[in-house]
Structure 1
Amino acid sequence: MAISEKNIPSSRPIWVVLLSGCVVLCLAFGIRSSYGLFVKPISDELNWGREVLAFSLAIQNLLWGAAQPFAGMIADRYGAGRVLALSALIYAGGIILGVMDYSPIASHMGPGFFVGIGLSGTTFGVVLAVIGRSVAEEKRSLALGIATASASLGQFLIIPLGSSLLQSFGWQDALLILAGLLMLIIPAAYFLRGVSSAPQGLADSGLKNSDSMVDTLKEAARHRGYWLLIAGFFVCGFHLAFITVHFPSYAIDKGLAPEVGAWTLALVGLANIFGSYAAGALGGAYRKKYLLSGIYLARSAAILAFIFMPATTVSFLIFGFVMGLLWLSTVPLTSGLVAQIFGPKYMGTLFGFVFFSHQVGSFIGVWLGGILYDSTQSYDLVWWISIFLGVFAAVVHWPIADQPLRRFSQAT
């Protein structure tokens, strides 16, 4: 009889699990974040409006979110290693499909559908759940912050690499090279296998160990704070996806060199290394819901200041640094709240549904940016929508009831 990965004991040191998760997130997020560099050159060469590729990337974000709960469920039940390895292959295959066939349908299926499915199994929902179950509650927020920062490190490293590859080899070969880099996820996935439940001694706040996944989902569905987290994370997705995909084109529209948009996004990634780490550290000392409200309000203020500043290289880089501090700092706090309220046992599943809302926001942010640009030749309206949504998210996080539901029963 085959042995399930879930039943393979994990004796690896916590630092090995954390490092492996960081490698996966660095590659998966870095390559995904570089797609904004390719919107204008692909659209110009193939005589597409920006809406075509924007819709492909919107599909990517939506499918990423729709598949995330299921990827989390499979990983929670059977272990993360196989999910990560298979998802990396699907992710790379989607990129290759978009390169080999230049039709809009292939773009929607490759970079859209298949990359979205691949991302669902190589990003936060699966990786953070493994890390969250591997560390004690008092260290969990910091560990989640370090892992989230690694995603930004990927953005900082791979976006300039993608820009250089684009300039040297053209968009087709550049994307093929990036697809090849994804294969490094597979050896990292090996060290994340077998971590499918909280180790002895890590029983902490949340639902009882005896509760099933169905019981946990029912409990979450009745929890008002869970729905407020879902609503707030929608805004995070809208902000991140719109800026990631459309910002390089926005910089060119403002008369700046193509490298400015790329380096601004890279600076976002660099600053977010510090922002995510700080959010994780602060989340262990202060109430996470108040930190989240402050982050979203600060985003709105940063966008408002940016759209009124003159469009210069300096103003773009300043905006990139400020937004970077606030970029993925929501993730360790949001995922940490899920584990704090419901416990880490089914964290991958519960965070997967919250993340789906994030990706619905991403879908709308990316697609709406393309539609409004093609119809108005401007991104101004989307910036104003982003400001409003940031204030909305700040408001909805404030009243979340963040107390643990029940204490775990004694480990048997």
Structure 2
Amino acid sequence: MTLLRTLRPALPILIGASLMLSLSMGLRQSLGIFLQPLTHDVGISVSDFTLAIAVQNLAWGFLQPFAGALTVRYGFRPIMMVGALLYIAGLVMMAGAQGLLGVMLGAGVLIGMSLACTAAAIAMSVAARAVPAGVRSTVLGIVSAAGSLGALLSAPIGQVLNQDFGWRTGLAGFVVLSVALLPAAWFAGRVDRVPLPPRAPDQIADTSAAVAAKIAFGNASFVVMTCAYFVCGMQLVFITTHLPSYLAICGMDPMLSAQTLGVIGGFNVLGSLFFGWAGQRWNKLALLGGIYVFRSLALAWYFMLPPTPETTLLFGAMMGFLWLGVGPLVAGAVAELFGLQWQAMIQGLAFISHQLGSFIGAYGGGLIYDALGSYDLAWRIGVSLGLAAGIIQVAFALIKPSAPPMLKTA
């Protein structure tokens, strides 16, 4: 009740940010459902489709810092509204695609541009500004948890429409869902009326975007976190893009992939809440490293066994718990280290690394499958790099700990 009373003035902003994040991430995570029917219908290869997803991730990653910097100049609302319109346009173009160009422009370029304006970095920055410092990490976990609910809705809807009426109808259903991004972005944009809190002495003061970026990359904790973030993107996008295809190859029920993506979304709620709560109490960077290690162990366990419905759903539950828990930890760490004014941009700079990993996870996985007819090499690479990144992140966090929670927070 005390937390609810504290958050009551910010509830419209937080609900808008949560719904925006839920739709933008849930729809994106469910696009792999259409990989097999779309590629067969329009005559493109698996690697062509995954190249479009890889372009999406690169566009999202490289445009994220610019979107974050523009929020400082123009405010959050106009940036998020433009992002919502781009998402709708991207899904419409993808639904009407007749070949690689339509898929590349719709699923790749337009949705990638939209995600830079509507997904985690912007939504988390909105939530961080809207609430007091004492509850910030917990609230970031709640927003991240709410943001994971989109997959619970979009994956089953998309799969049912895809099976019964075809992939174009499934994507048309996604277009209808994406329209809700517009009111969500409008309400989240109320955060522009919330003044920035006073900065701590060691946080970034009023300056240019270039100087803020230079300060961020001069911080060793930020650099290590950014490098490890590469593996996060690689593992997650490999799963969302290739798991439906892997299950189809293994002869599993097509609905199992949608059910697994839904389970990931459901357990993501629990994981996001837990890591938001944990980040308020323990070293955020060490927690991040732990996520990468346990994700890698889960990947190794699942792909070493013949898939069954039971092991696939259990794998989805384990990965879901470790999925977007990185969101409140990364956002909270950036806010602690650098303050709130440039948070969206600095978080976006780290996110470039994440999206380079996403490019490798999507396109690299497709290339390996096309070349070898198997995903074995792809998952082994993902496990090896994940274990290395997680161990290095934990070791560095313990050797050079960041500030205790809330000590540096604006």
Is the TM-score greater than 0.5?
yes
Say whether the 8 Å CA contact 2:13–2:189 is kept in structure 1.
Answer: no
Structure 1 segments, 4+ long, off by >4 Å, are: 200-206, 406-409
1:100-121: CA deviations, max 9, x gaps?
A: 2312122111211111101111
What is aligned with 1:305? 301
Tell me the secondary structure at the aligned position of residue 54 of structure 1. helix
Where do 5+ consecutive residues of structure 1 fail to align?
1-10
Distance 1:261 1:291 in 2: 29
Contact 2:145 2:269 in 1 (8 A): yes
The structure-2 alpha-carbon separation of the partners of 1:206 and 1:123, relative to structure 1 and needing over 3 Å to count, comes to: farther
Q: Is the counterpart of residue 167 in structure 1 residue 163 in structure 2?
A: yes
Q: TM-score w.r.t. structure 2 length? A: 0.92
Which residue in the other structure is 1:279 paired with? Answer: 275
Displacement, 1:126?
1.2
- The offset of 1:130, in angstroms, is 1.1
Counterparts of 1:147 and 1:76 in 2: how far apart (Å)?
21
Between the aligned residues of both structures, percent identity stands at: 35
1:78-227 matches, cutoff 5 A: 78-196=74-192, 199=195, 203-204=199-200, 206-227=202-223
Are positions 1:64 and 2:60 aligned together?
A: yes
1:207 and 1:216 in contact (8 A); partners too = no
Distance 2:241 2:303 in 1: 17
SS of the residue aligned with 1:101? coil
Runs of at least 5 residues in structure 2 that lack an aligned partner in the other structure: 1-6
1:392 pairs with one of 356, 364, 388:
388
Q: Which residue of 2 aligns with 1:355?
A: 351
Give the whole-Å Cα distance in 2 for the aligned partners of 1:255 and 1:245.
17
Name the amino acid aligned to 2:130. S
Task: Name the SS of the counterpart of 1:285 in structure 2.
Answer: coil
Would the alpha carbon gap of residues 114 and 209 (structure 1) be closer, same or farther in structure 2, given more than 3 Å must change? same
Query: SS of the residue aligned with 1:13?
Result: helix
Mapped partners of 2:69, 2:117: distance in 1 = 11
C-alpha change, 1:157 and 1:327, in structure 2 (3 Å) is same
**1:314 aligns to 2:310 (yes or no):** yes
Check the 8 A contact 1:136/1:202 in 2, yes or no. no
Could you tell me how far apart the structure 2 residues matched to 1:197 and 1:237 are? Answer: 33
Q: Which amino acid counterpart does residue 232 of structure 1 have in structure 2? A: A
Write the deviation string for residues 387-406 of structure 1: whole angstroms up to 9, x where unpaired: 112112212322144238x9
Sort the Cα spacing of 1:346 and 1:197 in 2 relative to 1 into closer, same or farther, 3 A: farther
Match of 1:34 in 2: 30
Deviates more, 1:312-321 or 1:206-215: 206-215
CA distance in 2, matches of 1:228, 1:273: 27
Bigger helix fraction = 2
Deviations along 1:225-255, one digit per CA (max 9) or x if unpaired, are: 1111111111110011010011011111112
Q: What code does the residue aligned with 1:363 have?
A: F
Aligned to 2:226: 230
The residue that corresponds to 1:242 in the other structure is 238
Larger CA deviation: 318-327 vs 286-295: 286-295
**AA paired with 1:72?**
G
2:365 equivalent in structure 1: 369
Structure 1 residues 205 and 138, CA gap change in structure 2 (3 angstroms): farther
TM-score norm. by structure 1 comes to 0.92
- Root-mean-square deviation (CA, aligned residues, Å) is 2.2
Q: How far apart are residue 171 of structure 1 and its match?
A: 0.9
